[in-house]
Amino acid sequence: MANVGRRPKFDVPIKERPPARTDEGQEARMYAYSMELAERQIRDGTVSANVLVHYLKQGSIEGQLQKEILKKKRDLLEAQKKSLESAQRVEEMYLKAMSAFKSYSGDQERAEET
């Protein structure tokens, strides 16, 4: 990095964004600003080593694989959640069916207990 002592060229203003209405929106807004600033620093040659290493890791095969693994884990958790919800619905249907069978057999008291 031969340009370490060079002053940054911020002749183009950072794109102004509308104010955020939620915490998530504010976080996204700040993330967009930081990404824009990091890109500008990389182009100007004034980027810090930490920022540069961060983007090098993100672009590496290992970084991409880590992102993919996280996405797969998220999908797996979502599938497990749906499976649990489905099992609960099946159990409820089973209990209703058992109650109906009891009432068909003429055992009204036992049907009302469940």
Give the domain extent around 16. Answer: 12-59
Same domain, 49 and 73: no
Same domain, 54 and 31: yes
Residue 5 lies in a domain: no
Same domain, 19 and 55: yes
Same domain, 36 and 74: no
Same domain, 66 and 112: yes
Rounded mean pLDDT of the chain? Answer: 83
Q: Give me the pLDDT at residue 6, please.
A: 56
Separation of alpha carbons 7 and 45, rounded Å: 9
Higher pLDDT, 100 or 8: 100
Same domain, 51 and 31: yes
pLDDT tens digits, one per residue of 32-64? 888 899 999 999 999 999 999 988 888 889 888
Provide the domain count of the chain. Answer: 2
Residue 40 lies in a domain: yes
Q: Is 41 exposed, middle or buried (CB count within 10 Å of its CB: 0-12, 13-18, 19+)?
A: middle
